[in-house]
Amino acid sequence: MRKLWDNNRDYHSVANTDQIKVHHLQLNLDVDFDKQQLVAQATLQFNRCEDCNELVLDGRDLIIDTITDNSGRLLEFSIEHINERQGEKIIIAVGDDINQVTISYRTSPKAQGLQWLTPEQTLGKQVPYLFSQSQPVNARSWIPLQDTPKARITFSAAVKVNNGLRAVMSAANSDIMPADGVFQFEMEKPIPTHLLALAVGDLAYGAISDRCGIYTEPVMLAKALAEFEDTEEMILAAESLLGPYPWDRYDMIVLPPSFPFGGMENPRLAFITPTLIAGDKSLVSTVAHELAHSWTGNLVSNATWRDLWLNEGFTTYFTNRLVEKIYGKEQAELEWVIEFGRLKEEMISMPLAAQTLPANVQQQDANDAFNRFTYDKASMFVHELEARLGRNDFDQFLFDYVQHFKFQAITTETFIEYAKQTLLVQYPEAISESELMTWVYGEGLPQWFVGPTSISLDKVDLALQQLKLGDSAAKLNVAGWRVHHWQYFIKQLPLQLTQLQLTDLDSVFGFSGSQNAELACDWYSVAIRNNYEIVLPKVAAFLGHIGRAKFVKPLYNELLIAGYEQQALAIFQQARAGYHPSLQVQLDALMQQL
């Protein structure tokens, strides 16, 4: 018998948000690079129900010294270990007159939400670097709080840096370097706790527009500005669809290669991987994706990690609309087809019961919610809504939806009730309740769904057919192909290729060692699967300098499946120190199976 879950409960948090709601956080952080530690105070202001005398917070590996109330009196508290994923339960006794607590604490050097880089691990090689990654449940490893997307807070912060480096946060940032090394931050709009973000390093700034610019290490700045110069145009395009940009500024920080994601939508300071800098703007849709989150994800957010599809599905769809508006319909179609291809590929290996829009992660690692169904199946659903309603009517629905739920965290069921009151009433001929429920709760894709196509890929299909008939790579007409054509080409190669075929493709097209990380990863997967061992040193180099989980985890899996266990272990042992702590934990579990 299947267990009945409480869909309003966040199973990845122990915080008592139904009794006490923290609404503001004041942080004081002293950054100690020598000890790889934050020495900190967190003051939490909260509202409460009358009969509640305990504040329960999430924490992980925090060293708590004291907790005091409004007037500075010491409060009793206890800490209970839950498990490795969730961390600890911090229980604070609060009397009837208490509406804020101040927690004096220190972080652990092994905090999963913080990565401390030595000078040698940076581009400049001169000074250290620190950056956070709070999503999904790692904010609790550097701040004691109600670490759940249900909890929206405003925050202010003072961050002391002793060695002349710059600190930036997901808040209002200043370009002035304070003489005392104390940086002041303010976020006056309520955000989910997983969007709390901090970075400290040798950071230069370059403006793209009056409200948009880039922080990064000085040697990276010119390349980053050139690659992402269209960002202001993206903001204008997004505003034309969903209304005024709601967060004042849209700045980005291009992080070191160990950042585990393509991007992270932290308000006012989106975190971006350097693997997007390909020199030809071919991968900038990730920037569009993080920008789109400013509406779908930051303004309207998921209440639990089960509901992540509400963030990522709408955002993935919205990203495609921005790409179409800026770079044209052909590129948007190509990206949509590739997205569909990724989804079909994951459908082969993912258990059918997991192929729903809500992620069945109530008793699993919250990171498991980040799969292709959360992103791409959900995006296909939104694309179909657009096709059925027509673009104009769908755009109005999307605009109304965001405005209705702005600054709220909602569940899947909240969305369904809203859809029943709007979509099903206003467009009864376009979509039925049964079809809506099939998309959301059904396993796999609905039987009636027809995936996207693009006539732009006909030339790639022709080249693939020529290969199957025995033509050499040199005979293929690849003139004018974009990166997306090459991505599709590699993904559609036969599962089994001979060494002669692999050598031919590699020598003509130079896949091994490609500077485009997407192409390189796709090619290495093909090569490993077919025991094209000449690429193994390049795979090792790739895994040694890139820490993006999207590339790293699949390549280690490919190595293990292909029988290269010892090589995978050797590469991992060499590269592990350069990976983000959250990725280290996931890969440690993978390697322990050997």
Convert 293-341 into a string of H (helix), E (strand) and C (coil): CCCECCCEEECCHHHCHHHHHHHHHHHHHHHHHHHCHHHHHHHHHHHHH
**pLDDT band, residue 48 (cuts 50/70/90):** confident
pTM for this predicted structure: 0.92
Which residue do the tokens 């003509």 mark? 508
Residue 1, pLDDT score = 41
* Any domain includes 320: yes
Whether residue 275 has pLDDT greater than 70 = yes
**pLDDT band, residue 2 (cuts 50/70/90):** low
Residues 107 and 24 in one domain: yes
Whether residue 16 has pLDDT greater than 90 = yes
The tokens for 61 are 């590996």
Residue 272, pLDDT score = 97
Task: Classify each residue of 262-283 as buried b or exposed e, where b means 16 or more C-beta atoms within 10 Å of its C-beta.
Answer: bbbbbbbbbbbbbbbbbeebbb
Whether residue 432 has pLDDT greater than 90 = yes
Residues 258 and 171 in one domain: no
Residue 582, pLDDT score = 84
Sheet holding 54-59, edge to edge: 54-59, 87-93, 77-83
Residue 487, pLDDT score = 94
Q: In degrees rounded to 5, what are phi and psi of residue 320?
A: -65, -35
Q: In degrees rounded to 5, what are phi and psi of residue 28?
A: -125, 115
Residues 189 and 212 in one domain: no
Residue 96, pLDDT score = 80
**pLDDT band, residue 138 (cuts 50/70/90):** very high
Residues 264 and 279 in one domain: yes
For the chain, what percentages of helix, strand and coil (3-state, to nearest 5) are there?
A: 40, 20, 35
Residues 182 and 223 in one domain: no
Residues 376 and 358 in one domain: yes
* Any domain includes 479: no
* Any domain includes 450: no
Residues 119 and 187 in one domain: yes
Window from 13-17, 316-320, 330-334, 578-582 with minimum mean pLDDT: 578-582
Residue 3, pLDDT score = 66
Whether residue 160 has pLDDT greater than 90 = yes
| Closest among 484, 539, 481 to 508, alpha carbons compared | 481
Residue 50, pLDDT score = 75
CB 492 within 8 A of CB 521: no
Strand partners, 116: 130
DSSP calls for 344-406: HHHHHHS-GGG-SSS---TTS-GGGG-SHIIIIIHHHHHHHHHHHH-HHHHHHHHHHHHHHHT
Residue 594, pLDDT score = 75
> Could you give the percent of the chain with pLDDT greater than 90?
90
Residues 527 and 412 in one domain: no
CATH number at residue 229: 3.30.2010.30
Question: How many Å apart are CA 136 and CA 131, to the nearest integer?
Answer: 15
In angstroms and rounded to an integer, the radius of gyration of the C-alpha atoms of the chain is 24
Of 294, 311, 343, the position where a domain reaches its end is: 294
The tokens for 368 are 């498991």
What is the pLDDT of the chain when averaged over all its residues?
95
Question: How many Å apart are CA 319 and CA 285, to the nearest integer?
Answer: 7
Of 424, 441, 458, the position where a domain reaches its end is: 441
* Any domain includes 482: no
CB 369 within 8 A of CB 136: yes
Whether residue 31 has pLDDT greater than 90 = yes
* Any domain includes 3: no
Within 8 A by CB and 6+ apart from 541, the residues are none
Residues 107 and 182 in one domain: yes
Whether residue 402 has pLDDT greater than 90 = yes
Residues 228 and 166 in one domain: no
| Closest among 234, 185, 197, 183 to 212, alpha carbons compared | 234
Q: In degrees rounded to 5, what are phi and psi of residue 128?
A: -75, 180
Strand partners, 183: 159
Beta carbons within 10 angstroms of residue 211's beta carbon: 15
The CA-based dihedral angle spanning residues 354, 357, 358, 364, taken in that order and rounded to the nearest 10 degrees = 40
Which residue do the tokens 């894709």 mark? 445
Residues 312 and 359 in one domain: yes
Residue of 227, 265, 290, 339 with catalytic role: 290
Residue 175, pLDDT score = 81
Which DSSP helix (H) or strand (E) runs through 161? Answer: strand 152-161
* Any domain includes 448: no
**pLDDT band, residue 4 (cuts 50/70/90):** confident
Model pLDDT for residues 290-336, shown as the tens digit of each residue: 999 999 999 999 999 999 999 999 999 999 999 999 999 999 999 99
> Could you give the percent of the chain with pLDDT greater than 70?
99
Of 157, 182, 201, the position where a domain reaches its end is: 201
Structurally, the chain folds into a number of domains equal to: 4
The tokens for 115 are 């990565």
- Give the mean model confidence (pLDDT) for residues 65-93: 95
CATH number at residue 83: 2.60.40.1730
**Whole domain around residue 532: which residue ranges?**
496-591
- Give the mean model confidence (pLDDT) for residues 383-409: 97
Within 8 A by CB and 6+ apart from 448, the residues are none
Residues 47 and 191 in one domain: yes
Which residue do the tokens 């057919």 mark? 465
**Angle, vertex CA 372, rays to CA 455 and CA 302, nearest 5:** 120
- Give the mean model confidence (pLDDT) for residues 7-26: 96
> Is 88 noted as a catalytic residue in this protein?
no
Reduce the DSSP state of residue 8 to 3 states and report it.
Answer: coil
